[in-house]
Copies of this chain bind each other. A is one copy, B any other.
Amino acid sequence: MSDVAIEKFIETMGSLAQSEGGTRIAGQILGYLVVEGEPRTLTQMTEALSISKASASTNARLLENRGQLRRVSQLGSRQDAWEAVSNPNRDVLATVATRFRKSGEAIGEAAAAFPPDRAEARSRVVHLADFYFNSAEFIEEWISNLPDRQEENASDLSTDHGAAKFTG
């Protein structure tokens, strides 16, 4: 932190997350970790962002589930550390695609139950379901065009990510 421009960026990330349907704190955590570029602990988050430990824990794991954060346990410490993945929003898109697919399924199932005398209505609903299916497909294609996730985040010394997953 320590700089007003950086604080502003983090606040921006918080607002953005909120307007995208997430939580402010999740956005702030992501912004903070992108700025830092190295793994940070929950305690560091609570201090940097003035949030409770409960919020830090909950939102960090939420971001982990979305694929935007990675938990790296550092050898010799039982503290978890968290870092932003290098393409933090790639998996957000994947989540969107999954949700689209599920929406399409839900709508398609509902359409299948329509009574015979509502065939036209059903066809409109099926059309809607198709939109979701096709959008999901397209987003997945888009994802596959994104640059590969590079495991080159913390640019200075090697915190060996891939191997040292060592949670209790």
Contact = CB atoms under 8 A, between A and B. Distances in A.
Interface of A: 3, 5-6, 8-9, 12-13, 16, 19-21, 34-37, 86-89, 93, 99, 103, 106-107, 110-111, 113-115, 118, 120-121, 123-125, 127-128, 130-132, 134-135, 138, 142, 145, 155, 161-163, 165-166, 168
B37 A130 contact: no
B12 A113 contact: no
Given A114-B3, A161-B120, A135 B93 contact: yes
Given A106-B16, A161-B123, A87 B131 contact: yes
- How many chain copies does the complex carry? 2
Q: Is the interface of A mostly helix, strand, loop or mixed?
A: helix
A9 to B, nearest CB: 4
A164 to B, nearest CB: 8
Contact of A107 (B9, B36, B99, B161): B9
Contacts of A103: 16, 20
Nearest to A36: B121
A114 B8 CA distance: 10
B35 A121 contact: yes
Contacts of A128: 34, 88-89
B142 A37 contact: no
A135 B146 CA distance: 9
Contacts of A16: 103, 106-107
Given A34-B125, A99-B19, A118 B12 contact: no
B124 A161 contact: yes
A165 B138 CA distance: 15
Contacts of A114: 3, 5-6, 9
